[in-house]
Every structure is written in C-alpha cells, then in structure tokens.
Chain A
C-alpha cells in the first residue's frame, strides 16, 4: 500500500517569510510525484510533476525538489504573499491513479 505523508499539517507565516513543506513517500515502486495548490471552493491546481531523482522545478516564487532514493519532496515558497494561502497537496501517481497526502494548509498573514 502506498502511503504518502505531508508535514506540517498547517503553517502560519507572515507576509515576506519564506517557507517549506515536506512530502514523504515509499521509495520503492515510485512513478511520479505531483504537487497541487488548492484554494478554498476552487479546483486543485497542478503546480509540478516530477519523476527523476534530483529533479528541481520552479514556478515564480514556488519551487520543488525530489529525492526518490530516500522518498521525499520539498516544496519551497520564497517571500510568501497572502495570495499564497491555500492547501498544498502532494500525490504519487501509481498505475494512473493519484495517492494523496493529507495536505499542508498555509496561512500567510499580511
């Protein structure tokens, strides 16, 4: 059974702070790691898909890294803004389906 864990569960930061979250997954049978950003009452929005050990992806102030050998991925947000407030989900894809972690909810205070 593929088990994906995220930490912390929630995070409160001040505007301008940089922050990061962790996604852990079993390193065996790994296929791909997905990060989603999910604002309340909206659809989850895809941020990154990563497959190779050592992958690094960047989108504006948000970046992510992947270590498939030890089974973790980090998501970094540089200079957090109030509009970054959302739940960030990671998921491993396995035979076409997504196995999600429980998410990290970020609240950025102005």
Chain B
C-alpha cells in the first residue's frame, strides 16, 4: 500500500473528552511520527514510534499517547481534551530513523469545544 491515510478527516469533541486519531502508514515504513499544527504555526513534533516502541517525544504532556501496530497502522490518543488541543494533527511515516523519506498524511482537523 502506498501513501499515508489518516482518519477521520475532521472531528469535533467536547473539553474533557478523549479522542483517538488513526494513521495507516506505507507498507515497510517502520517509523511513524505525529505532529500538531496549531493555527499560524508550523507543525510541532509530538512523538515518534519505531517498530512499536516510542523513540522520542516533544514537549507535550503525558495525556498525549500513542501506539504503533505491526500492520503499519498507528494511533494518537489524547485524554482530557483542552480547548488548546484544537489543531491539525499530521502523521508521517518513513522507512527508518534516518530522518529521510518522510511521507505525510493530509491530517485530522480536531476541534475542541
């Protein structure tokens, strides 16, 4: 399978709720990274998974968590949603940890009300 697919494309949640965002990576891409893009900013690194293990985390609280599965799919979970979590969430996969060859999905737009 080629390309990176994210679901859903749009989502509206209430403050305090929990949300799960999904990403289906390219076959053979062992690394998946998640980014948050708030309005007017560049994408900010949330965390990265390599072969189902977390391999680096940005400046995000523990209520942001992730999972990566053997079938090249992954999840971003956010607990206790806050209004400031409203953003576009991007998933990117790559074959390895070199930092080359990233393929991005088109993102999930999360709105917290």
**A residues touching B (Cβ–Cβ < 8 Å)?**
4, 6, 31-32, 34, 36, 41-46, 49, 89, 91, 93-103
Contacts and interface: CB of A to CB of B under 8 A. Distances in A.
A96 B4 contact: no
Q: Which of B33, B44, B100 counts the most chain A CB atoms within 10 A?
A: B100
A101 B43 CA distance: 8
Interface string B41-54: 11111001010000
Interface of B: 4, 31, 33, 35, 40-45, 48, 50, 55-56, 58, 90, 92, 94, 97-100, 102-107
B106 A32 contact: no
Contacts of B4: 43
B106 A98 contact: no
A46 B102 contact: yes
Contact of A100 (B44, B50, B98): B44
Contacts of A44: 90, 104
A32 B100 contact: yes
A99 to B, nearest CB: 7
Contact of B99 (A6, A45, A96): A96
Nearest to A100: B42
A45 to B, nearest CB: 8
B106 A97 contact: no
Given A34-B102, A94-B99, A100-B35, 16 more contacts: A32-B100, A36-B104, A43-B105, A44-B104, A49-B100, A89-B43, A93-B100, A95-B56, A96-B31, A96-B56, A96-B94, A97-B56, A97-B58, A99-B45, A100-B43, A102-B40
Contacts of B33: 96-98
A35 B105 CA distance: 16
A39 B55 CA distance: 29
Nearest to A94: B99
Contacts of B102: 34, 46, 98
